[in-house]
Structure 1
Amino acid sequence: MTAPARTDAAACTEGSARTTAELIRAEEPVLAHNYHPLPVVVAAAEGAWVEDVEGRRHLDLLAGYSALNFGHRHPALIAAAHRQLDRLTLTSRAFHNDRLAEFAERLTALVGQDMMLPMNTGAEAVESGIKVARKWAYDVKGVPADRATIVVAADNFHGRTTTIVSFSTDETARTGFGPFTPGFRVVPYNDLAAMEAAIDATTAAVLIEPIQGEAGVLVPDDGYLRGVRELTRRTGCLLIADEIQSGLGRTGRTLAVDHEDVVPDVVLLGKALGGGIVPVSAVVGSREVLGVLKPGEHGSTFGGNPLAAAVGTAVVELLETGGFQRRAAEAGVVLRDGLTELVGRGVLGFRARGLWAGVDIDPALGTGREISERLLAEGVLVKDTHGSTIRLAPPLTITDDELRSALGALEKVLGR
């Protein structure tokens, strides 16, 4: 695969003092283990391409787990950040700032909701959504104090805080971190009957990913999300959609729930909302729900800071035209067609929506990690998930030719 000419930004890697191997070794004694990164050290990036410390160019098909939906260093987002850096970066929420109102107005309008609560990371948005749902259950629904429950799906990934891993079914995320937070009921994903059986008078909300990303980009059956929406309405509980990975254009619509014309009570956003520049997340919902919060009951020093609001507003502006959503849908056809051609030729099957796919590789050809490492050698960055499954989530700015080249690299490594 031929990489494009280097940009001035990428040229900053020239003269790096240490090699890839030296930098990776240097991390070992000073960084606690969390992720298991591929052996590449990125030093510069532009669009869909990154450059490592030794000047090798790689096509990024992970896009920061969808945090880089608009590519690396999108010029409109970088310009917005630069303008704000020259004016004001942080006030804390002890004071108002002149960027937050516009961000809130445009974001709520984009997703068809009334109010938003600005936070920083995706996990903070999930934690905040849980708190809001419980407060609503006590203040509005009338659930007895400390009795509220939330129904979640098995194989979920909502983050790694203590409360969130309390309802994870991933033992790697859970083992050694108890005792766990009570109040959650886990049911199989894509199973309406099981969900209905778990809901009772204490249920504050159903918290669900419209598409389960970490589980391997699991797309539910047509009608499932509509069924969940109808079930929550009928039983008098909230629907909270975790769109932190699936939202903001990734699936070819603004939100993944838009494919079924579902309007949740609460939407959790993050990752791409920060444009790959700063952490930005938000709990967006109806006034009836978010209105239960009173001053002092929740907060964040950095949530809604002027820099985050400026970048978030620029992200919303990119999405308001619908162009990125259309691009994800169009490029998604190229992705699906290319993967279809590989089924039976090293690919056992795949699931895709928009520009997002989980690809199941024949285990006889290698684990997902091994396939990812082989693709790295071909200049393509992906990341494995469970077993022999890899995830593809390219920036929405990727060209058809770049996407076909990446699929050609996958074909090559599967044919070895």
Structure 2
Amino acid sequence: MAKNKLKWHLLFCLIILNSSILFQSYLFAEESPYNLSRAYQFVEQMLKEQKKVFEAGTPLENRINSKLTSNDETVFYYISETKIYKKKLISFKYKIDDLKVEEGKSSDKILIKAYITREFDFGYEALNPIFGDHIELEVDKTELTKNTLNVRSTNQIDLSKAKIKHNDAKSKTDLNTYLKRAESSKKLSVTINSNNGSTVSNRACTNNCWNRIKAKNYAYYWAAGHGRNPKYGGFKYNCTNFVSQSLHEGGIAFQSNWYNKVVNGKRQYTYTFVNAYSLDRHLWNKKIANDGRNKGKVQHADVYFYDPHNSVGLKYPDGHADHAAIVTGFLSGGRVLVSYNSNDRRNVSYTFYRDVEGGAMWRYHIK
């Protein structure tokens, strides 16, 4: 009896030992040859440098380390808030997500990819603008190769040789052009409906089920920093999908030509749900919006459309919407704030996209 117990005990120990060896072998095989902690430090150090120059009021100083440029949308917004609207930056916060490392095009380079969110506190509290962007930072492979770390301090981050290879926030518009448009936009006036009540009747949703506050809160959460809601999936150009799902979450029912859902494990959606021009026409034709562009007072969850270029990409508006955003807040003095995807922006001025891209814009009031 004792021998049997000993035999089973030895067999159990052997199984555990073999399992441990196999597991360690798996980890070794899956382990990245590059130091991800150090990759994180590179992105973090860049954002620390950005925090330093923004809070000092000099966003275009020390560009070699901050990697900020004069056509970065965060620089645009900071300068217009401080110079045009005379606001003072209280603090700058950042967050790093989805960090990964890939081989660069050159054999001696590595790409550090990440999704970063940057929040500016101008004293708006819950209405602070947030910018969510994908970035790619190219560094020398030796900076992340593990067998070189024994001769290199992990705290010694040299950003001077690192290069930004991709930045969602980089605009083709120059700073002076943006500021001229922003100055002009300041003169615009809109009338805000002080009654932003939660429940309003809607022809597409009977029994008073349209809840604009619910739609606004949904958009506020999913605009930036939380990825894409798996319930609706994500697209390369996700602005209209984002606005449509916000309207749906606010109570507007799916229709035969407007939906995005998973059926039998496969995603099915209509062009109307994910395309700005088609959504524009849908809101008009189905009388979901009031009759006419820019009619009525602005309320939460109203939808703005933007038309920066024509069908062949030239910088001339042609009346066909190319981008969509949803109203998520208001500031004193009548400033309307919107949120949108691609790029991910939360609570930026309703004119910001137009100020950056040019062209035309209009609003539909959701009834």
Instruction: Tell me which interval the TM-score lies in, with the shorter structure as reference length.
Output: under 0.3
Q: TM-score normalised to the size of structure 1?
A: 0.23
Q: TM-score normalised to the size of structure 2?
A: 0.26
Structure showing greater radius of gyration is: 2
Say which structure, 1 or 2, has more relative contact order (CA 8 Å, 6+ apart): 1
Q: Between Structure 1 and Structure 2, which shows a larger proportion of strand residues?
A: 2
